Chain A
Amino acid sequence: MAVNRDEIFKKVQGVLVDALGVDEEEVSSDSTLMGDLGAESIDFLDIVFRLEKAFAIKIPREELFPIENLMNNPQYVKDGKMTAAGLAEIKAKMPHTNLSEFEKDPNINKLGDLFTVNSIVNYIESKLKS
């Protein structure tokens, strides 16, 4: 079934409005979940549950928001920055995410900014195609 990007965005927007208690206008494709929309850790699970329901798909843990395990691995994080190995791992694990900005300054405090509305839409789009 072909679903176009606008339809996916609309549904993702609805999910975020319900999960985060934000207004529809606040959710644009480049909004970051944590910085702009105020998501906290439990909200990520809530978002995953709601996306699974809205799109009737299964989202394995660590697929949409996979950073938790990366952060705790000394091979990937050194002196508060992501190492080259860490960056490679993120690239492999998060193909739905735009990493160009993060690569310039891979400070782990900025990892949260990687989770944007757009990255969710990309993920869902690839999931529905497969």
Chain B
Amino acid sequence: MRWIWIDKFVEFESGKRAAAVKNITLAEEHLHDHFPGFPVMPETLIIEGMAQTAGILVGEAKKFEEKVILAKIRKAVFFDFVVPGDTIRLEAAIETISPEAASTTGKIFCGAKIIAEIDLMFSHIDRNIAGKEFPEENFVFTDTFKSLMRSLSLKE
């Protein structure tokens, strides 16, 4: 299993907002356990999908030079289940971005129906954890994530 919880970007406005979609399918094994006979996408993974949408938006704003990690879930409210066959649309917007961190707001829809509101905070770790050494290479934005950008035909 690959840890990617969005399928592609459908809109991307650098430094401002992005929208991604994810199709939910019964081929995702965890849905058979969550729950037997009642498959719903775990809300934690919905948050992760938003973190990937918003995190790539934040990373791209600094040309992927910062290591952007999810630092805080500022808000996560869910209004409905996401079930196999659904296509969800994850919309993220940058609220504030500074040299050391960024905050984002986000909404998730299934068609016209709102599924969740998820606001997050990201840290640029090299600038926040003084004295700790991290690897030079950007281990956050690996090729797998960059391939999502390619689907939008944005330049790396």
Would A68 and B130 count as touching, CB distance under 8 A?
Answer: yes
Would A43 and B100 count as touching, CB distance under 8 A?
Answer: no
- Pick the residue among B99, B103, B131 that contacts A46 (CB under 8 A): B103
Q: For chain A, residues 30 to 69, give those with C-beta under 8 angstroms from any C-beta of chain B.
A: 41-43, 45-46, 49, 52-53, 61, 68
- Closest chain B CB from A76 CB (angstroms): 14
Q: For chain B, residues 88 to 108, give those with C-beta under 8 angstroms from any C-beta of chain A.
A: 95-96, 98-101, 103
Main secondary structure of the interface of B (DSSP, over half): strand
Q: Does B71 contact A (CB under 8 A)?
A: yes
Q: Does B52 contact A (CB under 8 A)?
A: no
Main secondary structure of the interface of A (DSSP, over half): helix
- Pick the residue among A42, A61, A68 that contacts B71 (CB under 8 A): A42
| Chain B residues with CB below 8 A from A100, complex form | none
- Closest chain A CB from B130 CB (angstroms): 6
Q: Does A4 contact B (CB under 8 A)?
A: no
Report the interface size for chain B: residues with CB under 8 A from the other chain.
15
Q: Does A72 contact B (CB under 8 A)?
A: yes
Q: Does B18 contact A (CB under 8 A)?
A: no
Known: A52-B96, A53-B96. A45 touches B131 (CB 8 A): no
Would B98 and A61 count as touching, CB distance under 8 A?
Answer: yes
- Pick the residue among B96, B99, B128, B130 that contacts A49 (CB under 8 A): B96
Task: List 12 extra interface pairs beyond A45-B101, A49-B95, CB under 8 A.
Answer: A18-B74, A42-B121, A43-B72, A45-B100, A46-B103, A49-B98, A49-B101, A49-B103, A49-B121, A53-B96, A61-B99, A68-B130
Question: Can you name 18 A-B pairs with beta carbons within 8 Å?
Answer: A18-B74, A42-B71, A42-B72, A42-B101, A43-B72, A45-B71, A45-B101, A45-B123, A46-B103, A49-B95, A49-B101, A49-B103, A49-B121, A52-B96, A53-B95, A53-B96, A61-B98, A68-B130
